[in-house]
Every structure is written in C-alpha cells, then in structure tokens.
Amino acid sequence: MILLTGATGFIGRALYAHLTSQGLSVRVVVRTRIDEFPEDQVVMPVGPETNWEQALVSIDTVIHLAAHLHVMHANAEDERHFSEVNLQGTARLAESAATAGVRRFIFLSTVKVHGERTHGMAFSEQTPLRPQDAYARSKVEAEYELKRIGQASGMEVVIIRPPLVYGAGVKANFFQLLRLVKHRLPLPLGGIHNARSLIYLGNLVDAIGMCIKHPLAANESFLVSDGKDLSTIELVILMSQAMGMDARIFSVPLPLLRLVGKLLRRDAMVDRVVDSLQINSSHFRERLGWSPPMSVEDGIKATVKWYLDHL
C-alpha cells in the first residue's frame, strides 16, 4: 500500500488518479476530510511533532508531496513554515517510515535546489546544490536528512526534482500567461532569447509512478522534464496556436524590461520570464528506460483546453 501526502494539491490529485487507475491501493494524508477520496484517508498535518504510527500501518511506499509552497516574497512566517513543514515535517515522516519498515520513500523536491537560472549549461544531478531562497534551502536540507535516514535504516530513498509543472489546474505565473494570451494583450517578449525546461503534469505523475517499484530508482536523485525546452516566445506561440489565434508579441530592450519589473516590484516574475533554466533529464530516462507519454506540444494543447473549458 502507498501513503500519499499532499493528495489535495495540484500534483497530488493527478497522482492519486494515476495510481488508483492502475489498481494500486493508496492511503491519503489530508488536513481536512475530503469527500472525493475513499474512506482510507488520514487527517493530520505534516510537522515536526506528527505521530505517523497508525498512518504507516501496512505501508510499503511513501510518496511525500506535501510542502509549504514557494512564494515570491517570503516573510518570517513563511520561513518558519518552510523549516517546520518542508524540513522537520519531512524528517519526522521519514524517521517514522523507517521505523515502520517502509521499503521506499519518494520525495518531491525542486530544480530550485540547484539555483534559479542556467547560463548555457543545463543542470544535471551532478550540478552542485546552490539554493537561492528559503524554500529551496528547506528542500536541500530535507534531501540531506532523507539520505541520512535512508543510509542509517536501509530504507530506499528516491528524490525527484522537477522544473515548472503545468497541466490541468495549473496556477501562478503559467495561469497568468494563459490569461494574457487569451485576452490578446501584446506582450513585450520579442527581445527575449531564453530556454526553459518544463514538465507536463501527466508526464510527472507517470515518472513518479515508475519510481515506486523500479529497482534502479533506489537511492537516486533525478531531474525530470518533458525533454524539449522552450523559449518564452515559443511557449506563447504554442498557447496562441492552441487557442486558434496568432501570438501578439513586440520587442522591448531587455534592460528596460528588467527596469520596469523592478519599479513595479515584479522583478522576480520578470526573471522567470526572461532567464533560462534548463535541466538535463537523460539520467532518469536512461537509468529507468523512461520516456514522457506526452510531448510538450500536446501538453500545452491539453492545458489550454482545460483553461478554455473552465473560463
């Protein structure tokens, strides 16, 4: 049986549907009882004092998605939650899982543990960990704790570091870009020449599913992506085409774009639009024999269809 935390989130809901469609038994951890899940759900927070004993009965694999999520301008309260949930809560669950005899612990980390941008060379699993904010630091520290616990107990640990995830239910910057394209607002992106790795939600849950039993996934860290990187302009063009319209793009000098972002206190958002962030996911593909079920083009089409259906 699988214990899934973060089951009500963007990735968690899709992963739950994927796993149960394959006939796997899943016990979900939720903060409040949810009618859409079956009776086998555990209502509890993820934190440094959580008692996991009953939740882990008969569990073979833990998939830990629950986290205090990244925010643009984290305050002291956010930083406290990053530590309590992402680090201490993860360590508490892993220690309890090891004590309960859980075979494998799968942890969803982030590409941000390597940094915020790339400069000509994609991140790989060998790239040093250089987190730039409190969220990423909490994930790095959680990874170290998991490896320590795994080595001490023999529990297999699998760490997955995805880039930006998109698909049905996506929020934040990707959703905002969909809105801008749909309203045919001219976008000042013509001077941007970047490349960013993405992963479609369906591809990510498929990759996580493969890590449950594959023997070569044990005690590995993986970067995963769709395998084809896009510039911001290419992303807007694909969105526009999926909506049956032409992209409306004009050029603004990049320094001016950054200056406007800084004046509007949207510099972090501008960075994500103009900078490159590429990953090399060949290790995961080659070691596990995996290929993404959906191309990036079809993933964008499916996401646009969801967006238009829910206007």
Q: Tens digit of pLDDT for each residue in 56-105?
A: 999 999 999 999 876 555 677 778 889 999 999 999 999 999 999 999 99
DSSP alpha helix (H) spans, the chain: 10-21, 76-81, 90-99, 134-153, 172-182, 201-210, 232-242, 254-263, 267-274, 282-288, 296-309
Q: Model pTM greater than 0.85?
A: yes
Q: Which helix (H) or strand (E) holds 169?
A: none
Q: Find the catalytic residue in 16, 135, 200, 307.
A: 135
- The pLDDT of residue 32: 83
85 vs 66: CA distance, rounded Å: 8
Q: Is 60 exceeded by the pLDDT of residue 182?
A: yes
pLDDT for position 71: 59
Predicted confidence (pLDDT) at residue 6 exceeds the cutoff of 90: yes
Half-sphere exposure of 53 (CA within 13 A, CB side): 2
Encoded amino acid at 68, one letter: H
Q: Is-catalytic flag, 135?
A: yes
Give the span between the Cα atoms of 300 and 285, in whole angstroms.
21
| pLDDT value at 212 more than 90 | yes
The structural domains of the chain, ordered by start, are: 2-169+198-226+280-293 (3.40.50.720)
Q: Where is pLDDT greater, at 130 or 31? A: 130
Contact assessment for residue 122 and residue 161, using Cβ atoms and an 8 Å cutoff: no
Cβ partners under 8 Å of residue 176, min gap 6? none
Of residues 78, 93, 88, 82, the one with CA closest to residue 48: 88
Count the helix, strand and coil residues of the chain and give each as a percent rounded to the nearest 5: 45, 15, 45
What is the pLDDT averaged over residues 158-163? 98
Q: What is the pLDDT of residues 246-301, one digit of tens each?
A: 999 999 888 888 888 888 878 877 888 899 999 999 999 999 999 999 999 999 99
